[in-house]
Amino acid sequence: MIENKNYLLTDEEVERYHHAGYLVVKNLYDRREMQFWKEKIITLLKKEGHYNNPSGVHVFFLHDLHPYFIDKMRDPKVVKILQQLIGQNLEFLSVKAVYKNVKTRFSSPWHQDWYYWKGAIKTSVWIALDDATIENGCVRMVPGSHNKLFKWNNVDDPNMFNRRTDEKEIEGLPVDALAVESGGAVFFHDRTLHGAYENVTGADRFSFITTYRDASIKDESTVWDSAMVVSGESVNI
């Protein structure tokens, strides 16, 4: 894990991201700001009728994201880290609110995000709004798995995780449980195998996942009909 206030990564930290497919950054935000985000997200989800989604997941695309969060997607500290990991030209694509509670306590199955959107490589930032522990369903990742596309099964799943990695593919692979305190974040490659543990506490465990791409690379994905340049220039807009 890294923790610094100037958000300049060392060569070793950049290498860690490229080697493992993810990098944990502690204290990217403070707890009070995360509580404010959580309260604002709950208000938005309830207003739009999504708070009781059985999946515990809702995606906000650029056109329906609240202006407060649009501004946060340009946060200089996040942009600075992303520039060091994937390049100077960056586009923001979407946000995924993930809300585990007594109704959405299930574990998230193993998957690679790339299969859901394909095209150019993307990088996501998983932000802990609450403390994330193994007991309340923190994210888990397979280091180095971003170097391979694993076999997957198409499953009829009301919880939206229909493109699941075949369990046989994961047998014997190392698994890192990423317990992250509120305000911490995980920057991860979209081919990194990941999932989450079941929330057995009965308490909330909210997270906020933002997705970006290298804007200098043409992206053939058709998932997003709009994007926002947060650094440099784009060949996609």
> Read out DSSP for 91-115?
EEEEEEEEEESSSS-PPEEEE-THH
- Confirm if 77 and 210 have CB atoms less than 8 A apart: no
Give the pLDDT mean for 42-56: 89
Give the pLDDT mean for 20-47: 96
Where are the domains positioned within the chain? 11-231
- Confirm if 189 and 21 have CB atoms less than 8 A apart: yes
pTM of the model: 0.94
Query: What mean pLDDT value characterizes the chain?
Result: 93
pLDDT at 84: 97
pLDDT at 163: 76
Give the pLDDT mean for 64-90: 97
Tens-place pLDDT, residues 95-154: 999 998 888 888 888 999 999 999 999 999 999 999 999 999 999 999 999 999 999 888
11-231 folds as Jelly Rolls (2.60.120)
pLDDT at 1 > cutoff 90: no
Residue 194: pLDDT band (50, 70, 90) is very high
- For residues 31 and 36, give the distance between their C-alpha atoms in angstroms, rounded to a whole number: 9
Tens-place pLDDT, residues 216-232: 999 999 999 999 999 99
Question: Could you tell me the two tokens for 167?
Answer: 């369990």
pLDDT at 120: 98
pLDDT at 171 > cutoff 80: yes
- For residues 176 and 63, give the distance between their C-alpha atoms in angstroms, rounded to a whole number: 35
